[in-house]
Structure 1
Amino acid sequence: MPELVSDTCSFDTGFENKIQRLAIASSYALGHLCRDPSILLRLHRLKHFKLEDSMILPAQEDIQNLDLVKRSLRFFRHLKLIEIIYLDVIEKNPLQQTLYHLSDLADLLIRKALEASYHNLVSKHGQPLDENGNKIELDIIAMGKLGGRELNFSSDIDLICCYASDGELEGYGRLSHQEFFTRLTRLFTQILNESTEDGFVYRVDLRLRPWGDSGPVVLNHAALEHYYQLHGREWEQYAMVKARVVTGSDADRKHLVSILKPFVYRKYHDYKVFEGLATLKDKIDLQARSRGMQDNIKLGNGGIREIEFFVQAFQILKGGRNKQLQNTQILYCLDVLQQQKIIAAGTVEDLRGAYVFLRVLENKIQMLNDEQIHTCPQNPLLRERIAEVMGYPHWQALNENLQMHRQKVGSHFAELFKREAEPRSSMVISDSIGDEKTGLQQIEYMTSIGLNNPEEIHRCLVTFFGSKAWSFMSARAKQRFSTLIPAILEEICRSEQQLALFERLLNLFSSIAGRSVYFDLLYQNNALLVKL
């Protein structure tokens, strides 16, 4: 420690001990302190986190020098990350405070990179204006952890970029708004992404935008709305739970919220979310196994992603009618789910405790060397350093706690998204029942399960498959109905008035033909089917 501070001043033993603990927590921080010992003076005075954006580009004329902008952004990021590590490790800031600090830092650096890029392009091509002569800005939607103000220490940032309306600029090249904002998006992401001798600011991922890599990097609001109304996919609905607009005018922000919220939160209870999220998690598990990522505390079994999916399922299911669940932050939503008794208190406590533990561990792993990794190190010394910083006597004690939390999360996740224990009947009755050969096979099946009027029930089904109600049903609803029919017929066998009961059920199905969600609900809930 004396060697580190000799060029600045002497510090008391208490502060030197704090810096030694900081060095245990982060080789990344120690490296920067050795290169610039003056940072120690800031840490010695540091009590609260503050973002002094005037430090980034103190002179307005500096904004034109993009090389200077890049250096300033990188220096500021390193300085503030060291302060965040210090407050987290030494001052024991709670997890949520650390996540806010990391997210707010990212918001500021995005805005500064955008400001410099915008100024640079406007000076060449002119100012984009709407039909009323008002300035048009680039609207940036933060997704994922940044959208929820839950950013981890070393993370990609997922962004979607858009602008209000089309038009043409008056300056050099007479660029269209589409061309201008495409150049702007590429320029500000390059400023953030590029690895220089000073490092990088953030790895920017634009692939969550409409059409992904095959789509334009930026869209106007009308095109964005059109996409989500007609082409938005289930996984995009889940992802949009985290959407937060971080740049743009107040009017633009309100308009984007009005576009995105109806896409995410439906007025009816969207029960298919459970199957959709379970299917998505299956794909992630398959990917994790193929890449040897079972020990990944983010994507592996019992990891952070399962907690996120658990909470998002209830947000999408109930958020359309429960505005308190229309929130981007997991811990807040867990509190709502517990307070409103939507989820058992014990389950919420398990998930909250695991989420806090896993996110703290994830940050400690990434603080070591400013690396975006989600698996515990294999090096015994690094493991002991993490255990020490997290307050455990040794790695084994920490790992036991880790496995306990993952087991609880995995159990709750499996229970919520459980698959059926027994396979459904292999028999599927579809609209091909009108074919003579198929019809005879179906009547034979109906007779075998004990229906006393198989020909009449077969006739009812043929009529239903030829009705307007059937034509109104989506492909998904038709598939669900065809799979459900054998189970429905088996339940009808218990009734003394089989034909009358079946006719009443078909009338009910006709009335809900346009709502595939009800067929999903029946498909997923055998007890409800029996009650019906």
Structure 2
Amino acid sequence: MSIDEQKLQNVPEQLRPLLQDNLARIEAALGELQDQPDWLTVELQRTLIGSDFVAEQLQRHPDWLAQLIQSGDLQQAYGETEYAERLQALLTPIEDEKELHRQLRLFRQREMIRLIWRDLNRLSDMRGTTRELSWLADACIDRTLEWLYQQACQRWGVPHSRPDAKGQRHPQRMVVLGMGKLGAHELNLSSDIDLIFTFPANGETDGERKNLENQDFFIRLGQKLIQALDNLTIDGFVFRVDMRLRPFGSAGSLACSFGAMESYYQDQGRDWERYAMIKARVVAGDQEAGEELIQLLRPFVYRKYIDFSAFESLRDMKGMINREVRRKGLSHNVKLGAGGIREVEFIAQAFQLIRGGRDHELQQRELLNILPQLPEKVGMPEAAVTELTDAYTFLRNVEHGIQAIADKQTQELPEDEMGRERLAFAQGFADWDALDQALQKCRADVSRHFADVIAPVDEGEEQPDDLRGDWLALWQGLMEDASALEFLAEQGYQSPKQALKALQDLKGLRTVQMLQKVALERLEAVLPALLENVGQCSNPEITLERVLVLIQAVLRRSAYLVLLNENPAALKQLVQLCSASAWFAEQLSKQPVLLDELIDPRTLYTPPNLTALRTELRQQLLRIPEDDIEQLMETLRYFKHAHMLRVAASDITGVLPLMRVSDYLTWLAEAVLEAVLDIAWRNLTEKHGVPQKSPGVPCDPDFIIIGYGKVGGIELSYGSDLDLVFLHDAAGNLETDGGKPIANSVFFNRLGQRIIHILNTFTPSGILYEVDMRLRPSGNSGLLVSSLNAFREYQQKEAWTWEHQALVRARVVAGSPALAERFQSVRREILGQPREEAKLKSDVTTMREKMRGHLGSKPAADEESRVFHLKQDRGGIVDIEFMVQYLVLRHAAEMPALMRWTDNIRILASVEAEGLLASDEVELLREAYKAYRAAGHRQTMQNLSGVLGDQEMAAYREGVAELWQRLLAP
């Protein structure tokens, strides 16, 4: 077949090359024609100019054009059941799922040629086209579902309900609800289909091998249905399937029971879900049961009273759309732009939501059935309804013209000249200017009527509320994934897919899905600001992951969400601190009660001294009855965790330098230990009386807690345990003076046990401190509490050199001041003993090698695998500590100033003052020690071990190792 020049006269000059190209593509199809009806040339021209998709399909299937013409299908409308009947005839003989997919796609492509042809040539009006498209979708969904259901029943058994009152179980079938345009019989030429999968009742299948829960069965069936319709194959697709309108959106179960549906909409249904549910219709599966569900859900959609709140919710939805239009530049979108299709829909559905509960005639799905009722129902002028009806019809026709070109789901007017001219021709206009003028008038009419019905949303610059609406739209699943990813990228997220998945995972949690309405409202109140702040961090995805763990922890205690929502500064602090520290985020997730500490930056970043800590803790404990040990323990834990949080905040933000961080953490431990000793002492003395120092002279309390290691050296870090030793100075042959006297030794042993119990016991708030008592005389085999005399004798006669090394960092952290003085004398006596240099070196180096072998990093097979253990490896922290301890033990006899301090930095200053090491050597040890500890702090704050890459700290390590060699080599 050829088109002569005379028949091209009605085609604009610039469109003739396009027409000739598409005619060339379908040359084989034209060759199949035996007879050419008179109408063919004109209709074929308009179709090929309007649709590359039709040209492509006729090129791939040359026989289809002749079939369509000879059958008369191009010239006649189909009835409601015709698509289903034709498809059923195709699917009945099919036994293979792959062939099912192929036949579905071929059926859809053939029918789309017919529908586009009829639409572009106005053989079908807009309502006829949308109705037939909806019937086509219904047939594809229903017939495919039935085929897949039979296959699933053969594989897993038929699903049945649980036994009823009569003991009977009833077979179950899926119900598929069509939402949006499909539900209203308003589907467009390249629309996706919004579906919800549901089933009447829970139960299980009657499979021979294995029974499935009904929900599991229908989820699998639903997945199969989506694959059959949505998967893109060599033959194309059938319909794009969107499941986000189901309960809980993308995070919800793919299929749920009627009971779960009713419960969800009753407890958690949102305004936009009422709007969506107006158009819900059973499109496939068990029609009878589905209609029962629709009636069950109707009270959610239509209120019995006149519901003017619908205006506000629709205004919010329109605001969200406006923001999307501005952000993505969609002003030329005939659906979403100003005066577009969506505004007409909002006008009609506003009155449906407001009055539909009282007026059942408004409870219809199709928009063009609602508009004519508005003059009578709500007093809208007839002229306004006429303008809206004409505008809606015109806009939908233009939408079809846009989508017919390439079978793509778009409502954007073309920007190129060729695209505009071909759209104008397909719509029956002389040129683009004529079509554009008609569009502008139409959209102006819609905008005017929309403003009359629903107060217009501010179209000005984007405001914070705009962003808030966008964040909520993303969270609620109202944004398509592509839009959500683009929005997240605009808000600073570096890996939008990762961030979106994290949010979807949170929403999918059962905890979130089961939230009461008030808790959900609180969550949605705080999420926008939270997500916006996270996006401003340097590591947004990591921060988001940490923050969402905390959000998950407080979901059932939503008062914390209110706290954050009402305190923007606290929310900002939270995000910044979680961004900087995994440890900080973890602590808050374990102890959400500490969120209160973020409110006031003055206390958060102003660390108290030891005296202030003692005073604050004492005041808190005074509020608790002395005999309420459990509450006292909880108060101690809150106090400790709160101040750990404060010091971490100061550390992270650089308010406190490393040394002050350790001071703060050590003072905190001392304040807690003093309080614990006081509680334990009071608790025991009330029961047994006070132990006797000498006959008639009570102890007061003649008990001390000695801190070794990091607490003794004022170098505590986050999560450090406490190396402690307990000593008393009471007479061993006396007893307490109470009504239930016990021996002094038994009393002090129980006192030690009580202290450890208070410190170590795991409560809902965790523990206070892990306690290590292995440095007491004779270690784990020795008494828990020794007398000072026994301690002195042990240190003089039995202690190993490494125990004297430990004594270098020992100091009293709680207890009797008088006994503390006597302990200091014993410490000076032991440390000041003369020592033979060679043996001391041998003892120190032997112990160091033993520790390094047990605790240091292991040899690696290759250079890339080598690591540096900050504490235990050669040139690390312990090497510095051992050198300092060696120098004290070696020279304290003649240089007593070396025994004054217990922390390495000040001992090194004494070493320098005494001339034992050169200033540059001391400077090396001091700076290396501080650098190692700072690195250890950073690792801890990220929940990492104290292991670095092998090349890190290389200069310090080599310098320390060289000094070790000079100082301690045999």
Please give the TM-score of this superposition, normalised by the length of structure 1: 0.76
- The 5 Å alignment of 1:269-308 reads 269-308=306-345
Q: Which residue of 2 aligns with 1:425?
A: none
Q: Which residue of 1 aligns with 2:129?
A: 98
Q: How far apart are the structure 2 equivalents of 1:72 and 1:155?
A: 20
| CA shift in 2, pair 1:247/1:60, >3 Å | closer
Deviation at 1:104, TM superposition (A): 0.4
| CA shift in 2, pair 1:408/1:54, >3 Å | closer
**Is the counterpart of residue 89 in structure 1 residue 120 in structure 2?**
yes
- The match for 1:353 among 380, 390, 393 is 390
Q: Is the 8 A contact 1:99 1:149 kept in 2?
A: yes
Q: Which residue of 2 aligns with 1:143?
A: 179
**Is the counterpart of residue 156 in structure 1 residue 184 in structure 2?**
no
Deviation at 1:264, TM superposition (A): 0.6
Q: How far apart are the structure 2 equivalents of 1:331 and 1:420?
A: 25
Q: Which residue of 1 aligns with 2:53?
A: 28
Deviation at 1:280, TM superposition (A): 1.1
**Is the counterpart of residue 184 in structure 1 residue 221 in structure 2?**
yes
- The match for 1:17 among 42, 60, 83 is 42
What's the CA shift string for 1:272-312, capped at 9, x where partnerless?
11011001110111111111112111111111111111111
Deviation at 1:420, TM superposition (A): 10
Q: Which residue of 1 aligns with 2:76?
A: 48
> Which 5+ residue runs of structure 2 have no aligned equivalent?
3-26, 459-517, 520-970
Q: How far apart are the structure 2 equivalents of 1:277 and 1:100?
A: 26
**Is the counterpart of residue 384 in structure 1 residue 421 in structure 2?**
yes
Task: Tell me the secondary structure at the aligned position of residue 247 of structure 1.
Answer: strand
Q: Which residue of 2 aligns with 1:494?
A: none
**Is the counterpart of residue 169 in structure 1 residue 233 in structure 2?**
no
Q: Which residue of 1 aligns with 2:816?
A: none
What's the CA shift string for 1:27-57, capped at 9, x where partnerless?
1112212222322223322332333545435
Cα root mean square deviation, aligned: 2.0
> Which 5+ residue runs of structure 1 have no aligned equivalent?
422-473, 476-532
Q: Is the 8 A contact 1:221 1:256 kept in 2?
A: yes
What's the CA shift string for 1:306-339, capped at 9, x where partnerless?
1111111000101111111000000110011134
- The match for 2:155 among 117, 124, 130 is 124
Task: Tell me the secondary structure at the aligned position of residue 64 of structure 1.
Answer: coil
Task: Tell me the secondary structure at the aligned position of residue 219 of structure 1.
Answer: strand
Q: Is the 8 A contact 2:179 2:276 kept in 1?
A: yes
**Is the counterpart of residue 67 in structure 1 residue 95 in structure 2?**
no
Q: Which residue of 2 aligns with 1:366?
A: 403
| CA shift in 2, pair 1:250/1:207, >3 Å | closer
What's the CA shift string for 1:473-496, capped at 9, x where partnerless?
x99xxxxxxxxxxxxxxxxxxxxx
Q: How far apart are the structure 2 equivalents of 1:236 and 1:202?
A: 23
Q: How far apart are the structure 2 equivalents of 1:103 and 1:36?
A: 24
| CA shift in 2, pair 1:341/1:229, >3 Å | closer
Deviation at 1:8, TM superposition (A): 3.6
| CA shift in 2, pair 1:142/1:59, >3 Å | closer
Amino acid at match of 2:302: Y
Amino acid at match of 1:65: D
The structure showing larger relative contact order (alpha-carbon pairs under 8 Å, at least 6 residues apart) is 1
What's the CA shift string for 1:163-218, capped at 9, x where partnerless?
01111112133111010001011110111110000001111111111111111111
Q: How far apart are the structure 2 equivalents of 1:52 and 1:104?
A: 7
| CA shift in 2, pair 1:377/1:60, >3 Å | closer
Deviation at 1:389, TM superposition (A): 1.6
Corresponding pairs, count: 423
Task: Tell me the secondary structure at the aligned position of residue 293 of structure 1.
Answer: coil
- The 5 Å alignment of 1:212-361 reads 212-340=249-377, 342-361=379-398
Amino acid at match of 2:146: E
| CA shift in 2, pair 1:298/1:199, >3 Å | same
Deviation at 1:245, TM superposition (A): 1.2
What's the CA shift string for 1:207-243, capped at 9, x where partnerless?
1111111111111001111111111111101111111
What's the CA shift string for 1:245-286, capped at 9, x where partnerless?
112334312311222211111110110110110011101111
What's the CA shift string for 1:392-426, capped at 9, x where partnerless?
110100011101111111121122222699xxxxx
Amino acid at match of 1:95: M
Q: Which residue of 2 aligns with 1:134?
A: 170
Task: Tell me the secondary structure at the aligned position of residue 345 of structure 2.
Answer: helix
Worse-superposed segment, 14-23 or 203-212 = 14-23
Task: Tell me the secondary structure at the aligned position of residue 242 of structure 1.
Answer: coil
Q: Which residue of 2 aligns with 1:429?
A: none
Q: Is the 8 A contact 1:209 1:215 kept in 2?
A: yes
Q: How far apart are the structure 2 equivalents of 1:90 and 1:344?
A: 33
Task: Tell me the secondary structure at the aligned position of residue 343 of structure 1.
Answer: coil
Q: Is the 8 A contact 2:51 2:404 kept in 1?
A: yes
Q: How far apart are the structure 2 equivalents of 1:43 and 1:80?
A: 9
Q: How far apart are the structure 1 equivalents of 2:352 and 2:134?
A: 22
Amino acid at match of 1:72: Q
Amino acid at match of 1:335: P
Instruction: Determine which structure has more spread, i.e. the larger CA radius of gyration.
Output: 2
| CA shift in 2, pair 1:59/1:305, >3 Å | closer
Please give the TM-score of this superposition, normalised by the length of structure 2: 0.42
Task: Tell me the secondary structure at the aligned position of residue 142 of structure 1.
Answer: strand
| CA shift in 2, pair 1:276/1:60, >3 Å | closer
Q: How far apart are the structure 1 equivalents of 2:34 and 2:56?
A: 19
Amino acid at match of 1:124: R
Q: How far apart are the structure 2 equivalents of 1:24 and 1:61?
A: 37
Amino acid at match of 2:275: Y
| CA shift in 2, pair 1:345/1:55, >3 Å | closer
Q: How far apart are the structure 2 equivalents of 1:420 and 1:180?
A: 46
| CA shift in 2, pair 1:309/1:66, >3 Å | same
Amino acid at match of 1:123: Q
| CA shift in 2, pair 1:200/1:250, >3 Å | closer
Q: Is the 8 A contact 2:335 2:341 kept in 1?
A: yes
Q: Is the 8 A contact 1:8 1:37 kept in 2?
A: no
| CA shift in 2, pair 1:96/1:60, >3 Å | closer
Q: How far apart are the structure 2 equivalents of 1:298 and 1:38?
A: 36
Amino acid at match of 1:37: P
Amino acid at match of 1:266: R
Amino acid at match of 2:40: F
Q: How far apart are the structure 1 equivalents of 2:265 and 2:302?
A: 13
Q: Which residue of 1 aligns with 2:453?
A: 416
Deviation at 1:72, TM superposition (A): 0.6
Q: How far apart are the structure 2 equivalents of 1:272 and 1:135?
A: 41
- The 5 Å alignment of 1:378-457 reads 378-418=415-455
Q: Is the 8 A contact 2:90 2:103 kept in 1?
A: no
Q: Which residue of 2 aligns with 1:6?
A: 31
Q: How far apart are the structure 1 equivalents of 2:393 and 2:92?
A: 44
What's the CA shift string for 1:99-139, capped at 9, x where partnerless?
10111000000112212221221111011123444331110
